[in-house]
């Protein structure tokens, strides 16, 4: 099969097959818990390349998967003996007008930020900069500008897609054909790979504001950590927080201070504020009081807007970041926040002025855990949920801490719960996208990330143990939570999803009954024969 596609492909189409020297590098995806062996990886540079692949696979009944950046938590961008249609070579941004741009799905998010920032622009993307635009946008896209500008998909105004018959089409919600408008809707949060291969999105760009401030801190007191998370959850539940502030928290298991003692549960919080540090500090003080530690890190976007630390309210100091003039680019802001929301193997902190200047002091949290949960492939398991309406958020937080406090400590795994803010712009125009949880105050994500070792039997045992920890944690929270977010996909919420009735139950958890019904109708019109098929693909009616 792989030789056949090589024979029929254009001469300039890059194809890597089993036996090629780069094969084992090319087949790797973000979640190395899945060691799939695809038949071939085809690197497409244009929509016409994708069309060739789709026509080939349809004509010869060859199974395939679509891979933008490979950050699919359940590994569904790959499989054994399939052709991977890889879109990572599509990475050139084309500016349409002063405030719109065509951004290809294979462009890495961090590179998008860097390029747009040169124009004093950005888009409301995520914090993990190693993901590519395709999966992020089609899943909805949570990011650190979410309360001000909404989900990533909210900024999409057109897209280019290769359909099941190989046709390349430009579509939007202004088309005269209602079927096309419906398809465009489905691509904004309906998940990737269901209706065609999106090759690029046309985004409405956002102008960078004169002042942007980010912050982060870690609380080392379990009591204060719990108080912080309760305050944060109840604050967002009121749905009246300043939309210029988007935050996220992480609660993680840390190493006991002394051998034989219980584990320590730490809380971290970070966020992005569209405004000055002075206003941000006042806002944090108003909502969180003395729960904000004195060594909170602040970083601003532009040096000309620097505010002297002596101007801060009493009780707050500026902890310098290891950058000149305490200034970060907007791109670095995103990375800065992501580093705190996604715990790494070590946390940077500063004990004195010398440490502040060099920024090289470290507090070890998990000595053998992955150095990053974002930028490198690792075996991992994630799941997500939203708080049920009218619950007591204090009880939910108590339950979360109870589970974490009774979690056995292992130095080779990062296990934590993250809280992602919603509200603000997310609540507006909910019918314009596929996101059934627009009115929820926040999103929960349970995660476990670890590293493989040489012994395959040890890996299998650890994989099962850490995956089951995530599953069990979710079950413990089931009285208080519901739903799930397709960007943080978990296929294990329903057993035996190869059966259609079970898969429909699973999909309804993600999309809601009404949205799923509409998505199935769109699938029936656009892909009735299920050319685009994988473990969690939308089923036709």
Q: What is the pLDDT of residue 326?
A: 43
Q: How far is CA 523 from the centre of its chain?
A: 25
Interatomic CA distance for residues 512 and 518, integer angstroms: 10
Q: Are residues 333 and 391 in the same domain?
A: yes
Domain range holding 245? 213-488
Listed residues 208, 238, 260: the one ending a domain: 208
pLDDT, tens digit, for every residue of 464-490?
Answer: 999 999 999 999 999 999 999 999 999
What confidence tens digit (pLDDT) does each residue in 82-136 have?
A: 999 999 999 999 999 999 999 999 999 999 999 999 999 999 998 888 899 999 9
> Does the residue 101 lie in any domain?
yes
Where a domain ends, among 55, 86, 117? 86
Q: Is residue 103 part of a domain?
A: yes
Q: Which helix (H) or strand (E) holds 506?
A: helix 500-511
Write down which residue in 463, 488, 513 finishes a domain. 488
In a shared domain, residues 241 and 155: no
- The pLDDT of residue 259 is 59
The pLDDT, as a whole number, for residue 255 is 73
Give yes or no: residues 202 and 250 share one domain: no
Dist. CA 51–CA 320, nearest whole Å: 51
H/E segment holding residue 200:
strand 197-204
Residues 242 and 183 both lie in one domain: no
Residue 478 lies in a domain: yes
Kindly state whether residues 380 and 459 are assigned to the same domain.
yes
DSSP 121: E
136-150 residues labelled b (16+ CB within 10 A) or e (exposed): bbbbbbbbbbbbbbb
Q: Are residues 165 and 249 in the same domain?
A: no
> The pTM is what?
0.89
CATH number at residue 50: 3.30.43.10
Half-sphere exposure of 373 (CA within 13 A, CB side): 29
**Whether 279 and 170 share a structural domain:** no
Residue 518, domain member (yes or no):
no
Asked whether residue 397 falls in the same domain as residue 467, the answer is: yes
Q: Is residue 511 part of a domain?
A: no
| CA angle 91–92–97, rounded 5-degree value | 135
175 shares a domain with 114: yes
The domain total for the chain is: 3
Q: Give the model confidence (pLDDT) of 423-477 as tens digits.
A: 999 999 999 999 999 999 999 999 999 987 666 667 888 899 999 999 999 999 9
Per-residue exposure over 379-394, b if at least 16 CB sit within 10 Å of its own CB, e if not: bbbbbbbbbeeeeebe
pLDDT (0 to 100) of residue 232 = 98
Query: Are residues 56 and 17 located together in one domain of the fold?
Result: yes
pLDDT of amino acid 302 = 53
- Backbone φ and ψ of 104, nearest 5°: -70, 150
Residue 315 belongs to a domain: yes
Residue 6 has what pLDDT? 75
Q: Which pLDDT value is given to residue 365?
A: 41
- Sort strands 380-387 and 297-300 into parallel, antiparallel or unpaired: unpaired
In this structure, are 237 and 379 located in the same domain? yes
Sites in the chain below the pLDDT cut of 70: 1-3, 7-8, 10-11, 257-261, 301-373, 453-457
């Amino acid at each position: 099969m792989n030789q056949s596609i090589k024979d029929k492909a254009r001469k300039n189409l890059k194809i890597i097959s089993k036996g090629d020297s780069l094969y084992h590098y090319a087949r790797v995806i973000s979640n190395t818990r899945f060691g799939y062996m695809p038949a071939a990886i085809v690197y497409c540079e244009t929509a016409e390349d994708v069309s060739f692949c789709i026509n080939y696979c349809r004509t010869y009944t060859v199974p395939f998967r679509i891979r933008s950046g490979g950050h699919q938590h359940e590994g569904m961008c790959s499989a054994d003996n399939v052709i991977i249609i890889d879109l990572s070579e599509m990475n050139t941004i084309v500016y349409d007008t002063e405030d719109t741009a065509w951004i290809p799905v294979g462009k890495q998010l961090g590179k998008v930020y860097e390029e747009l920032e040169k124009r004093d622009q950005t888009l409301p993307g995520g914090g993990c900069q190693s993901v590519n635009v395709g999966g992020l946008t089609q899943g909805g896209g949570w990011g650190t500008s979410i309360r001000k500008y909404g989900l990533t998909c909210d900024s999409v105004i057109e897209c280019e897609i290769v359909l099941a018959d190989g046709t390349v089409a430009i579509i939007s919600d202004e088309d005269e054909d209602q079927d096309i408008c419906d398809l465009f809707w489905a691509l904004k949060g309906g998940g990737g790979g269901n209706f065609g291969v999106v090759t690029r999105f046309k985004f409405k760009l956002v102008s960078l504001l004169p002042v942007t401030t980010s912050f982060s801190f870690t609380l080392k007191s379990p009591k204060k950590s719990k108080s912080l998370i309760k305050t944060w959850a109840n604050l967002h539940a009121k749905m009246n927080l300043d939309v210029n502030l988007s935050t996220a928290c992480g609660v993680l298991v840390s190493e006991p201070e002394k051998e034989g003692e219980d584990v320590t549960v730490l809380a971290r919080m970070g966020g992005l504020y569209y405004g000055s540090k002075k206003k941000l500090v006042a806002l944090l003080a108003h909502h969180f009081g003395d729960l904000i530690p004195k060594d909170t890190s602040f970083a601003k976007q532009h040096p000309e807007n620097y505010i002297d630390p002596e101007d801060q309210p009493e009780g707050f100091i500026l902890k310098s970041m290891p950058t000149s003039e305490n200034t970060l680019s907007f791109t670095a802001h995103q990375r800065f926040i992501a580093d705190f929301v996604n715990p790494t193997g070590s946390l940077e902190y500063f004990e004195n002025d010398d440490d502040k200047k060099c920024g090289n002091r470290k507090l070890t949290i998990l000595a053998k855990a992955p150095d990053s949960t974002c930028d490198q492939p690792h075996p991992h398991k994630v799941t997500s949920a939203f708080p049920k309406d009218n619950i007591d958020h204090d009880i939910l937080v108590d339950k979360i801490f109870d589970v974490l406090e009774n979690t056995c400590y292992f130095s080779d795994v990062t296990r934590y719960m993250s809280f992602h803010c919603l509200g603000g712009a997310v609540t507006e125009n909910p019918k314009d996208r596929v996101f059934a949880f627009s009115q929820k105050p926040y999103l929960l994500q349970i995660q476990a990330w670890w590293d493989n070792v040489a012994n395959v039997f040890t890996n299998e045992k650890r994989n099962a143990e850490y995956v089951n920890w995530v599953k069990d944690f979710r079950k413990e929270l089931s009285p208080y939570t519901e739903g799930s977010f397709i960007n943080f996909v978990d296929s294990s919420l329903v057993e035996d999803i190869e059966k259609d009735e079970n898969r429909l139950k699973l999909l309804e958890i993600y999309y809601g009954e009404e949205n799923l019904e509409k998505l199935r109708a769109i699938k029936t019109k656009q892909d009735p024969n299920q050319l685009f098929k994988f473990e969690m693909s939308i089923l036709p009616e």
